[in-house]
Chains A and B, each alone.
Chain A
């Protein structure tokens, strides 16, 4: 009897181990396509961008090592320096306006009432229009003498068509208007998921304690919504820092290069000046800033949980 168990045990263990091995191999096989895409189209380019930034790398011709030239010339790139200031300004204004409007929209449609679905859909609908299409649509909306001008003239606010993209500030705020139109519903939807995860009995308790509407919002909704608001802010800040389509298409960086974003400078270095090394160096800089921002943000989010 003893010999038999002594034999049977390792055999069963081997069988179990071979089954586990086979399951492991199957898992690797299923994960293989993900791994190939992530390695070839993400990790390899990620390493390559650092290597490119250490080289004189033109679109044609073979690269030569020139570290740290691509980095040391960044402070002399006035266009880039201006784009940093401009992008930060754009990010600050957009994030504040967008979050405020999204929060107001979310609060106004958070409760189930007849017709509320239609409002939600209407607010969100611009979000499915492509950003490039939205930029073109608003380009026409602003520059073709159109409904906005007629309205303002009829109201007696101006007596001639406004040049919506004509001055630096007009171009900036016209763009922000388009971005709010396109993304307010998107951010509203994010906030709604947070609002709807707040248990109803918390509100009931507040009401039975005689809390006013403002007190309920200030001391219950807002604190419980903080993680969701934080997520919305990360998305809005990251998205705005990487702004490209809206300025490339709608203002074309104008007037006089006053609305050139950081990513537009990267594009210009790489594909107008054909200097991929320089584009890579600025990209690496942007990457580091954004990863730091994400880490800080994740810390803050983590603390709240």
Chain B
């Protein structure tokens, strides 16, 4: 019974890990006509690195978009979560509902007009514009999560500070921020994974090759190769995209699962 459970569990684990391991192996494996003619080495990676504007550009773009999205999501959702958890103000319920309603609207439905809106704001083909859009898509989860985090903090903690003459902002900065740190890590992790990997939004909002993020650039690299596809370079590109996410997840796994148990997961 027990042996059967371990046996099938191990077999399934291998099944789920196999495609990634295979891709990793193939990205180093030599093949005629690819960057790694024979044997085993980094040839596919150097071939891929030279594609288009150069991998450095795409890596920089992706990292910049991820950094802006994570930072922006953290700032906006911390302030918003604080407001929703601790303050009463006109329009509070409507704003909260409007934020959650983002989940109900299909990605494509909102990106078609966003293409026009960003154009009017002078943010067409801009990494900042893309990041603002990605922040918007993160807000339902992030604000919900941060509101719950603030609500879980006992009010006495900040009331003592407020009585001592602290402003609400310094109470947030000096006392509450430390108490909601697990929530912040969860929100940041979700925002990173979403922005690092997103394909549809950059595909629509970025038009200039020098602005492409990794997913769009690697897909374009495959489309550009006439005739035989350079699988080695393709697999190297997949690994560059996947490995940071896998490592980050393994390190912060507990916080990721936290996002699920809080019941705030959608999409």
A residues in contact (CB < 8 Å) with B = 20, 23-35, 37-38, 40-46, 48-49, 52, 105, 108-109, 113, 115-116, 118-119, 121-123, 125-126, 128-133, 136-141, 143-144, 146-147, 181, 184-185, 189-190, 192-193, 235, 238-239, 242, 244-245, 249, 263, 266-267, 270-271, 276, 279-280, 283-284, 286-287, 290-291, 294
Contacts and interface: CB of A to CB of B under 8 A. Distances in A.
Interface in B113-171: 113-117, 121, 132-133, 135-136, 139, 143, 168-169
A153 to B, nearest CB: 17
B102 A276 contact: no
A119 B9 contact: yes
B136 A118 contact: no
A52 B113 contact: yes
A140 B231 contact: yes
Interface of B: 5-6, 8-10, 12-13, 16-17, 19-20, 22-23, 26, 75-77, 79-80, 82-84, 86-92, 95, 98-99, 101-102, 104-110, 112-117, 121, 132-133, 135-136, 139, 143, 168-169, 193, 196-200, 203-204, 215, 218-219, 222, 229, 231, 234-235, 237-238, 241-242, 245-246, 248-250, 253, 256-257, 260-261, 263, 265-267
A291 B100 CA distance: 13
Contacts of B231: 140, 144
B28 to A, nearest CB: 14
Contact of B267 (A20, A28, A235): A235
Given A33-B75, A125-B249, A130-B245, 4 more contacts: A31-B87, A34-B143, A46-B109, A185-B16
B110 A46 contact: yes
A38 B137 CA distance: 9
Contacts of B249: 125, 128
A185 B99 CA distance: 27
Given A49-B110, A119-B12, A137-B23, A23 B215 contact: no
A245 B235 contact: no
A31 B84 contact: yes
Nearest to B261: A193
Contacts of A190: 260, 265
A136 B12 contact: no
Nearest to A291: B104
B241 to A, nearest CB: 4
A140 to B, nearest CB: 5
Contacts of B77: 34
